[in-house]
A and B are shown apart, each in its own frame.
Chain A
């Protein structure tokens, strides 16, 4: 089974500039599955939530596609789109300046940075989301990523709305030096406060998730999920191979490997993700209701009609989309 998800050399991560990290484009009429090599009709893949109908390989998704699949249609309200990348080190490498690189990436992707934050609903239940966009410089964590995430977490701590982080990353953004490394501390500090406020953080690890993100907020969540076959780790496999001169075991650093070693709670495929999240949100909401006597307006009652008694015994319609 492990071999099943092991994609061999083709998909060895991870550096943000690695050409191989560019996802096969989904806009052609036909495409090849990187896992089973099957030629697939693109429409069919798309209709199947970008999962290979033959082998269940989960294609990588951009943050926007992810949000579209995850949240109720039209429910997403984006936050902090005006926070822009700066170039504190005036970083230049042979491919040019960091500032230019960011500008190019922006116009190519249409995104302002590698993390999209905001609020929406899943089957009517409000949820804050922070979704990393691997297409934007390998979803590396720099100052903007850290700041937007911290703001979202602080917002959730205040409002009590649970937060879902969707984490793919090549690690910290090297072009911002130690500022990037310190985003690990900054975001974890915010999540520590979210924990003190007893607001749930659900982390979804998707392909590929490495470095500073794996070693910070993404792995200290209340619930840690992963997509099937996602590669997850601290150090990249090539680095480990080079340094240890060891052959890596089959299925090394896959979601299944992470699950086997007790590091994550569950693996969830794309088709059941929304349902699972809705279940979890209901569990926490009920727990909170019992615990604090709070009314949570969006829990459906026993017959699932989306009505419930609030704290005063009055009935209230809550518009749960079923």
Chain B
């Protein structure tokens, strides 16, 4: 894991400036700086990754129930010599694109499309790669009518026992349940300036700080950066961004592709062994089973489950 401070880009500067570029370039980035980087509209989005890392992409549309949600893209593609099913939230780089993609906020149809494609992958023994980049699932009357919660829950249930390897990468914003819905995978990778949170810092600040403007403070407290989540054992690998992704999209995507390739190969080696899928299922269950921190009384003292497992290891 390499975590470097932001350096001045060697590449030509993109004209859209974010506030962070006016800071002391040597100061470490705050969580809020990263939130802004993660949301930068010029940051590469899912289709850019598919375009650069994969060949022969055939986009598949629709949930076969109600509609085709453009906030989630997916299909068959070739990655590192293997056929994969690739799925991701799609954001736009400008207002027009964002209206088309609904700012990357999926509706129930998006999750049902994702789930359908995952089952398709399982049927043909194809591994799945997902790219996470969403402010969250769409809050809306239609989404509620069509079961937003149910759609996310069903996608999780499918991922829990999907008998094929699944790798996820948080490339921008990992917004709560709407992100997790396509991210319950065997390996979770994360770009250095991506964030992944239980709620948006604005929502958290509005509720607990009673003031959405306190979002920068909330962002810090919520521990939402890749480095935090790696320390917590939730994220498996961080892809470093020597330069923020929007300043060096190609280089960032190749670094992401390298990390994906390595994890992909390791997972394929596992499933190619006898009863490899069973072991994969066992490992996936254990991966999520152990997430959480709590305490139990041991001889009158509170001992956390993490300390306990450290002792028993």
Q: Which residues of A contact B (CB under 8 A)?
A: 15-17, 82-86, 88-89, 91-95, 142-144, 146-147, 150, 172-174, 176-186, 188-193, 195-196, 211-212, 214-220, 233-235, 239-240, 243-244, 246, 248-249, 252-253, 257, 261-263
* Contact call A216/B198, Cβ cutoff below 8 A: no
A240 contacts across to B, CB distance below 8 A: 139-141, 144
* Contact call A178/B232, Cβ cutoff below 8 A: yes
Contact with A along B260-298 (1 / 0, CB 8 A): 000000000000000000000000110011011111110
* Contact call B149/A214, Cβ cutoff below 8 A: yes
* Contact call A216/B156, Cβ cutoff below 8 A: yes
A-B contact pairs, 30 of them (CB 8 A): A17-B208, A83-B295, A86-B293, A86-B295, A88-B232, A91-B222, A92-B221, A94-B208, A142-B292, A144-B292, A146-B292, A147-B292, A172-B177, A173-B198, A179-B232, A179-B292, A185-B184, A186-B288, A188-B156, A188-B184, A214-B149, A215-B181, A217-B153, A218-B153, A235-B139, A243-B139, A243-B140, A244-B139, A246-B141, A248-B141
Of chain A, the residue at the smallest CB distance from B296 is: A82
* Contact call A177/B149, Cβ cutoff below 8 A: no
* Contact call B199/A84, Cβ cutoff below 8 A: no
Of chain A, the residue at the smallest CB distance from B205 is: A93
Q: Does B123 contact A (CB under 8 A)?
A: no
Of chain B, the residue at the smallest CB distance from A84 is: B295
Name A189's contact: one of B143, B203, B284 (CB within 8 Å).
B284
Name A215's contact: one of B152, B160, B232 (CB within 8 Å).
B152
Closest 8 CB pairs of A and B: A235-B139, A143-B292, A214-B149, A234-B149, A88-B293, A234-B148, A215-B152, A192-B160
Q: Tell me the complex Cα distance, A190–B148, Å.
A: 21
Instruction: Using known A-B contacts A86-B304, A179-B291, A211-B177, determine if residue A189 contacts B150 with beta carbons closer than 8 Å.
Output: no
* Contact call B198/A177, Cβ cutoff below 8 A: yes
Of chain A, the residue at the smallest CB distance from B289 is: A186
Size class of the B contact interface (CB-based, 8 Å): 35 or more
Q: Does B248 contact A (CB under 8 A)?
A: no
* Contact call B156/A184, Cβ cutoff below 8 A: yes
A184 contacts across to B, CB distance below 8 A: 156, 177, 180
Name B180's contact: one of A95, A185, A211 (CB within 8 Å).
A185
B210 contacts across to A, CB distance below 8 A: 94
Q: Tell me the complex Cα distance, A185–B147, Å.
A: 18
Q: Tell me the complex Cα distance, A54–B240, Å.
A: 63
Of chain B, the residue at the smallest CB distance from A80 is: B296
B22 contacts across to A, CB distance below 8 A: none
* Contact call A235/B223, Cβ cutoff below 8 A: no
Contact with A along B211-251 (1 / 0, CB 8 A): 00000001001111000010010100000000000000000
Q: Tell me the complex Cα distance, A89–B150, Å.
A: 29
* Contact call A143/B157, Cβ cutoff below 8 A: no
* Contact call A143/B223, Cβ cutoff below 8 A: no
B224 contacts across to A, CB distance below 8 A: 177-178
A239 contacts across to B, CB distance below 8 A: 139, 203
Name B140's contact: one of A92, A178, A212, A244 (CB within 8 Å).
A244
* Contact call A234/B232, Cβ cutoff below 8 A: no
Q: Tell me the complex Cα distance, A181–B199, Å.
A: 9
Q: Tell me the complex Cα distance, A93–B234, Å.
A: 24
A12 CB to closest chain B CB (Å) equals: 14
* Contact call A150/B295, Cβ cutoff below 8 A: no
* Contact call A220/B154, Cβ cutoff below 8 A: yes
Of chain B, the residue at the smallest CB distance from A246 is: B141
Q: Does B137 contact A (CB under 8 A)?
A: yes
A91 contacts across to B, CB distance below 8 A: 221-222
B161 contacts across to A, CB distance below 8 A: 189, 192-193, 196
Name A185's contact: one of B150, B156, B209, B223 (CB within 8 Å).
B156
Of chain A, the residue at the smallest CB distance from B199 is: A174
* Contact call B292/A186, Cβ cutoff below 8 A: yes
B297 contacts across to A, CB distance below 8 A: 82, 84
Of chain B, the residue at the smallest CB distance from A101 is: B208
Instruction: Using known A-B contacts A93-B208, A234-B144, determine if residue A188 contacts B157 with beta carbons closer than 8 Å.
Output: yes
Instruction: Using known A-B contacts A219-B149, A261-B146, determine if residue A85 contacts B180 with beta carbons closer than 8 Å.
Output: no
Q: Does B11 contact A (CB under 8 A)?
A: no
* Contact call B156/A84, Cβ cutoff below 8 A: no
A176 contacts across to B, CB distance below 8 A: 198, 293
A310 CB to closest chain B CB (Å) equals: 34
Of chain B, the residue at the smallest CB distance from A171 is: B199
B301 CB to closest chain A CB (Å) equals: 11
Instruction: Using known A-B contacts A82-B297, A144-B294, A261-B146, determine if residue A189 contacts B289 with beta carbons closer than 8 Å.
Output: yes
Q: Does B207 contact A (CB under 8 A)?
A: yes
B19 contacts across to A, CB distance below 8 A: none
Q: Tell me the complex Cα distance, A244–B144, Å.
A: 13
B288 CB to closest chain A CB (Å) equals: 4
* Contact call B221/A15, Cβ cutoff below 8 A: no
B290 CB to closest chain A CB (Å) equals: 9
* Contact call A174/B207, Cβ cutoff below 8 A: yes
B181 contacts across to A, CB distance below 8 A: 215
Beyond A83-B295, A174-B198, A178-B197, 13 additional contacts (C-beta under 8 Å) are: A84-B297, A84-B302, A93-B209, A142-B292, A147-B305, A181-B180, A181-B198, A186-B289, A189-B285, A192-B161, A212-B176, A239-B203, A263-B147
A233 contacts across to B, CB distance below 8 A: 144, 148-149
A90 CB to closest chain B CB (Å) equals: 9
